[in-house]
Amino acid sequence: MDIANPSEEHAMLREMVRNWTNEFVEPQALEHDRDEKFNLDLLRSMGELGLLGISAPEEFGGAGLDATACAIVHEELSASDPGFALAYLAHSMLFVNNLAFNGSEEQKARILPKVCSGEWIGAMAMSEPDAGTDVLGLSSTAVLQDDGTWCLNGRKMWITNGCIDETGTPADVVWVYAKTGVDEKGRVQMSTFLVEAGTEGYAVGQKIYDKTGMRASNTAELVFDNCMIPAHNLVGQPGQSLLHMMANLEIERLTLAAMALGIARRSLDDMNRYATERTAFKSQIRDFGQMQRYIGESWAKYRSMRAYIYDTANSMTLGTPGHRLDSDGVKLFATTAAKEIADAAMQVMGGYGYVGEYTVERLWRDSKLLEIGGGTLESHQKNITRDLSKDPEAINR
């Protein structure tokens, strides 16, 4: 069995996404990275392929596919344009998948068809100017009003798809986490809200420029200023945000790792081809031991990433927590390995690898964010160590 294509359906999905990526994503990748511009129309068009709601139920316009399918799409997109893939992840995983598994039936019926078709573009807002990994340190607040509405105030930072164009148009709908008080034990109570474009007090603070990588996705600051959220846009019950976060973080980390795999595969492919085409001292440079080390070690890392990522994907049940040890593990290993493989490709390709016209320079820049976003390397190290202390037999199973 091919672990990365465990069924005929998965293999067909991979072929379809790879062909579509080669035809539509690859030609625009360099330009949109150089201009720091998000290709909104291209992302919307993925709704026609059934990919924007890849994990959402078919009854709401989704494809109803599994974690392996999610990983396949992110890998294939990232082998061409990781920045665009990140925008796709923010929409399909951070918003659509979250809503599909945590939203009410009314919320799903009202919103999922719009985000699955591409009519609406979604985002998830958790990080703030002064808080990221420390979720309980968030300062955004939502206060329940006498009429049942919630008054949301706060600023969210580093939000992918926070704005969807160059004029500062905010995302059509955002999944927002905010403090709503403390529980009976004095612990911070976090609640989840759906904020729709047009809601008074919801605006883009700024689009963030001059990022090292992932420039083809828009990153923004979002501002919520006395933003009145109707009662039906509260997700679940007050205080349930951590439940929503835990299950969705696992698929987020898996798909970020799959993005790293796409970066690694493309970097390895480019360096291998270049090592054959380029000659020095009357030999192909692949004949030199130094080049063989870069290529050989990159191959081993790539194959290790692939096996671990798809083994984790095949065992993951979407919407159900309990896979943290390996969702953290694949992201911890794969993101750094991708950066190392892209770096090796640049070294093999020399000056050609260092300029923007060649893909590996962009892949190298894009890879760094994967060690930060969706959980830092340090948070994964902490989680894995904690989980192994609670379940040491995981090592021997």
The residues spanned by each domain of the chain are: 8-121, 123-238, 242-395
Q: Is there a contact between 331 and 374 (Cβ–Cβ < 8 Å)? A: yes
Average pLDDT over residues 182-198: 91
Average pLDDT over residues 141-149: 96
Residue 235's contacts (CB-CB under 8 Å, 6 or more residues apart) are 99, 102, 103, 104, 107, 175, 191, 192, 193, 194, 244
Residue, of 138 and 23, whose pLDDT is higher = 23
The pLDDT of residue 135 is above 80: no
pLDDT in tens, 28-70: 999 999 999 999 999 999 999 999 999 999 999 999 999 999 9
The yes or no reply on domain 123-238 and CATH 3.30.430.20 is no
Counting Cα atoms < 13 Å in the Cβ hemisphere of 347 gives 14
DSSP for residue 70: H
Position 131 confidence tier, pLDDT thresholds 50, 70, 90: confident
87: nearest Cα among 132, 31, 36, 49? 36
User: The domain 8-121 belongs to what CATH superfamily?
Assistant: Acyl-CoA dehydrogenase/oxidase, N-terminal domain (1.10.540.10)
Helices (H), the chain: 8-20, 26-34, 40-45, 67-78, 82-89, 98-102, 105-117, 241-277, 289-315, 324-349, 351-354, 359-369, 377-390
The yes or no reply on domain 242-395 and CATH 3.40.50.300 is no
Average pLDDT over residues 263-287: 96
95: nearest Cα among 111, 110, 109, 75? 111
Q: What pLDDT is attached to residue 95?
A: 98
Least confident span in 196-205, 244-253, 372-381: 244-253
Position 243 confidence tier, pLDDT thresholds 50, 70, 90: confident
Give the distance, in angstroms, between the CA of residue 278 and the centroid of all CA atoms in the same chain: 35
Counting Cα atoms < 13 Å in the Cβ hemisphere of 186 gives 0
**Which residue type does 136 have?**
L
Q: What pLDDT is attached to residue 183?
A: 81
Q: What pLDDT is attached to residue 253?
A: 97
pLDDT in tens, 4-17: 999 999 999 999 99
Q: Give CA–CA dist 348/270, Å, rounded.
A: 10
Packing angle between helix 241-277 and helix 82-89, nearest 10 degrees?
160
Average pLDDT over residues 125-133: 83
The pLDDT of residue 379 is above 70: yes
Give percent of the chain above pLDDT 70. Answer: 99
Structure tokens at 49: 């392929």
The pLDDT of residue 372 is above 70: yes
The pLDDT of residue 336 is above 70: yes
Average pLDDT over residues 162-176: 96
The pLDDT of residue 169 is above 80: yes
The 10 Å CB-count burial string (b at 16+, else e) for 328-353 is bbbbbbbbbbbbbbbbbbbebbeeeb
Average pLDDT over the chain, rounded to an integer: 96
Q: What pLDDT is attached to residue 137?
A: 74
Q: What pLDDT is attached to residue 291?
A: 97
The pLDDT of residue 188 is above 90: no
Structure tokens at 199: 């809601």
pLDDT in tens, 339-352: 999 999 999 999 99
pLDDT in tens, 64-91: 999 999 999 999 999 999 999 999 999 9
Position 130 confidence tier, pLDDT thresholds 50, 70, 90: confident
The pLDDT of residue 220 is above 90: yes
Q: What pLDDT is attached to residue 136?
A: 67
- Return the active site residues: 252
- DSSP of 189-256: EEEEEEEETT-TTEEEEEE----SS-TTS-EEEEEEEEEEE-GGGEESSTT-HHHHHHHHHHHHHHHH
Q: Give CA–CA dist 103/121, Å, rounded.
A: 17
pLDDT in tens, 92-119: 999 999 999 999 999 999 999 999 999 9
The pLDDT of residue 132 is above 90: no
Q: Give CA–CA dist 93/102, Å, rounded.
A: 12
Structure tokens at 211: 């990022």
Q: What pLDDT is attached to residue 245?
A: 87
Q: What pLDDT is attached to residue 227?
A: 98
